[in-house]
Amino acid sequence: MDNGSRKVKLETSMGDMVIELNQEAAPVTVKNFLQYAEEEFYDGTIFHRVIPDFMIQGGGFTAEMTKKETHAPIANEASNGLKNDRGTLAMARTNDPDSATAQFFVNNTNNDSLNYVDNSNPGYAVFGKVVEGMEAVDKISAVKTTNQMGMDDVPVEPVLIKSARVISEK
């Protein structure tokens, strides 16, 4: 993604990762993610859904499993041509394609089933890629999980996002 993109450093309790954002392909999604990062919204949230050989999802809950209040949902930009490949970041959403707010996930394998096909299979919007720290992603994806508060795949020991900071400006 050599397009002069901005980068965000996620400092987690299991290692750091640097994410390069693709403003050209996903302008709405990148603006949304940057707003949350700049507001320090992600600080103190957790990776609350971890599925080995699939993805790690975070950015919406505290370590006490309290859901954080978010801004309004954004439009799904999954038709931008970016694929849900290993190391990419995409927005989490409900069954409504235009329901993404703050939660995101990192693909820890190529997840072709999450890619945009058409309006009947709208996919998940990829907006960035881990350019440093995939070992942290792999470490997180290997944690022991349980069912907690009606949710599956919750890490037994919380995996904390200590901070999310913009480290380069375009």
Task: For residue range 98-123, list pLDDT tens digits in order.
Answer: 999 999 999 999 999 999 999 999 99
Q: How many domains does the chain have?
A: 1
* pLDDT given at position 1: 40
Query: Do the beta carbons of residue 38 and residue 169 sit within 8 Å?
Result: no
Residue 147 lies in domain: 7-168
Closest CA to 46 of 128, 147, 156: 156
CATH of the domain at 29: 2.40.100.10
Q: What's residue 132's pLDDT?
A: 98
What pLDDT score was predicted for residue 170?
A: 58
Tell me, yes or no, whether 1 lies in a domain.
Answer: no
Whether 42 is covered by a domain: the verdict is yes
Residue 162 is predicted with a pLDDT of 98
Q: Write down the pLDDT at residue 5.
A: 74
**pLDDT score of 168:** 81
Positions in the chain short of pLDDT 50:
1-3
CA dist 78 → 25, 65, 117, 164 (Å): 9, 28, 9, 23
